[in-house]
Amino acid sequence: MVRQLDQVSPEVADLARRAQRVAVLTGAGISAESGVPTFREVQTGLWERFSAADLATVEAYEADPARVWTWYRWRQSLIRQVDPNPGHTALARWQKALRQTGGELSIVTQNVDDLHERAGAEVLGHLHGSIFAHRCFECDAPADVPAGNYNGWQPPDQPEEPPVCAACGSGTLRPGVVWFGEMLPMETFDAAAACIRAADLVLVVGTSGMVQPAASLPLLALERGAPLVEINPEQTELSEVMDYSLRGPSGQLLPQLVDSAR
């Protein structure tokens, strides 16, 4: 039975203080306070007629490579211009503190941004890839491309064509992310499942719990009865399996939780 709270209660603080193997699944919400739009937010500019889920597909790239390529370049540019927020830095702090006492905090993220890493945390895996990785749409050869650098939020008024692959000379480049309908990197998924199964506390931060199979990972905590705590201003698809649902922004609640774990 989920207990919904608007701040860290003494029981939750006690769970955090006693936890030695913490597993954290994060979603777009943890980056929201940095200024990175979540998938639920409406699109603007060149893409206002499309939902993110429409553009994050092979079909969208095949239909209009330049539109999809430019969307990712714009998102890369935006991510480069924002900073990690107190939610990212709190997890990095907690990870360092636990490692000093032989514990562990494993971060598994659905996000394609690098804000956890830029906050100083080590990430066990990016379930949906990285927006800064690129590969050939045809031959899969990895490609090293400098990130998009548009000025601020202003999306370009003209789409950019994706570069031609230097390895095969015929394919064009695509972002190294997992699109809808594509398989997740299975070794990352398996490592995520293993760390959640072994955890003595599972934290789910900033995810609507709508995208599978990532959203099924927290359910593995039920196998061993590890406590499940969610941090999200809204109710999610996962709320009812949570032991505690902290209703608020992760940029505020994560620092409170980490401070209470000291």
Q: Which residue, 128 or 174, is less far from Zn ion as judged by CB?
A: 174
Residue of 116, 126, 128, 134 marked catalytic: 128
What sections of 122-218 are H helices per DSSP? 186-198
Angstrom CA distances, 166 to 109, 137, 177, stand at 31, 12, 20
Q: Which residue, 19 or 68, is less far from ligand BV8 as judged by CB?
A: 68
- Could you give the angle at the alpha carbon of 32 between the alpha carbons of 153 and 99, nearest 5°? 125
Type of residue found at 158: Q
Query: How near is the Cβ of 232 to ligand BV8 at its closest, in Å?
Result: 4
Residue 166 binds to Zn ion (criterion: CB under 5 A): no
Angstrom CA distances, 87 to 31, 232, 245, 248, 253, stand at 8, 12, 16, 12, 8
244: helix, coil or strand?
strand
Residue 42 binds to ligand BV8 (criterion: CB under 6 A): no
Q: Which residue, 171 or 176, is less far from Zn ion as judged by CB?
A: 171
CA distance 58 to 248: 35
Binding mask 165-184 for ligand BV8 (x = CB under 6 A): ------------xxxxxxx-
CA distance 131 to 28: 13
Residue 95 binds to ligand BV8 (criterion: CB under 6 A): no
Q: Which of 39, 54, 104, 122 binds ligand BV8 (CB under 6 A)?
A: 39
88 is catalytic: no
Interface positions with ligand BV8 (CB under 6 A): 27-29, 32-33, 38-40, 53, 56, 110, 112, 128, 177-183, 206-208, 210-212, 214, 231-234, 236, 249-251
Interface positions with Zn ion (CB under 5 A): 136, 138-139, 141, 165, 167-168, 171
